[in-house]
Amino acid sequence: MIPRLTIIGVGLIGGSLARALKQAGHMGEVVGCSSNQANLQAAQELGVIDRFTTDIPAAVQGADVVLVAVPLGAMEACFRAMAGKLAPDTVITDAGSAKASVVATAQSAFGELPAGFVPGHPIAGTEQSGVQASFAELFRHRRVILTPLENSSHQAVETVREMWQAAGAFVDEMAVGHHDEVLAATSHLPHLLAYGLVDTLVTMDESEEIFRFAAGGFCDFTRIASSDPVVWRDICLANQGALLGVLERYQTDLEALTELVRKGDNEALGALFRRAKEARDRFIEQLEE
């Protein structure tokens, strides 16, 4: 059990974690912190947090675990504000989607990375944002990736692992660089494509008619383009290297696909579609196991 959890950035992720841990009886007090007092007030009224402050040093005082769940561009300022204010045994973790960026900003802010610092990333979310969108089941049967550092203490890693498991998640560990490569392909690229497709269509002369007659496939593919633009802008910039690598690979494959359509290559198109369908069906079956 976590006697006191401080959440910096009480939105979908932070709010859902607080709800899940309360439901599981895995913590005592939840302290919320952000620059948006109205959002914090709403979080308290919803029962997501027990009390709040807009002052980070005050928020982390006496905290057993601190979760930083803010956009990547705001991470360093949060780390700098709490530097020197944490108890020696406080565990610090985050929910950032690009781990090399988080580690670099923590190194810059703290100087020497605390032994209690355990970078993490919950692979869960919706296109909605804000504490009003949070719900206790968000992490149930979802994966959380921890990327412990060489100096991360075993106890800190176990504390973060148990916290996410209490929220219903499956917890994996991997190296920082490997995490960023995997997520560039499986999360960052799909979001980039969804935003890009919507932006392309909205600039076409027939955009009103296009959107009027859009069917379920369009809605399914572009759902994630309704996600928080600030969050995804920061992710693209923070994981630029890995994202460019997979984006360039996709561009090459897209050019090849374009050529198949241009040639009217019935056999090759059919083989590609079958291969893709089989791969996705296997993926969905694994998720449902």
* pLDDT tens sequence across 171-185: 999 999 999 999 999
Domain at 178-288, CATH class: mainly alpha
Beta-bridged to residue 8, according to DSSP, are 33, 68
40 close to 11: Cβ distance less than 8 angstroms: no
What's the DSSP call for residue 133?
Answer: G
SS3 of 20-40: the string is HHHHHCCEEEEEEECCCHHHH
pLDDT over 90 at 70, yes or no:
yes
What whole-number distance in Å separates Cα of residue 168 and Cα of residue 142? 8
What whole-number distance in Å separates Cα of residue 132 and Cα of residue 39? 9
* Length of the chain (residues): 289
Domain extents for the chain?
2-174, 178-288
| Tens-digit pLDDT profile for residues 39-69 | 999 999 999 999 999 999 999 999 999 999 9
Residue 6 CB coordination number (10 Å): 30
pLDDT band at 36 (very low <50, low <70, confident <90, very high): very high
pLDDT of residue 206: 78
pLDDT over 90 at 286, yes or no:
no
pLDDT band at 12 (very low <50, low <70, confident <90, very high): very high
CA 119-45-135 angle, to 5 degrees, is 50
pLDDT over 90 at 208, yes or no:
no
Beta-bridged to residue 93, according to DSSP, are 67, 118
Beta-bridged to residue 108, according to DSSP, are none
- Per-residue pLDDT, averaged over 10-25, amounts to 96
CATH topology match: 2-174 vs 178-288: no
Least confident of 7-11, 70-74, 96-100, 281-285: 281-285
pTM over 0.75: yes
- Strands (E) across the chain are located at 2-8, 27-33, 51-53, 65-68, 91-94, 117-118, 120-123, 143-146, 170-173
- Per-residue pLDDT, averaged over 198-204, amounts to 90
pLDDT of residue 212: 82
Half-sphere exposure of 255 (CA within 13 A, CB side): 6
CATH 3.40.50.720 fits 2-174, yes or no: yes
What whole-number distance in Å separates Cα of residue 147 and Cα of residue 104? 13
Name the H helices within 239-265: 240-263
pLDDT band at 207 (very low <50, low <70, confident <90, very high): confident
pLDDT over 80 at 256, yes or no:
yes
Query: Which residue has better confidence, 158 or 284?
Result: 158
Residue closest to 12 by CA, chosen among 248, 227, 240: 227
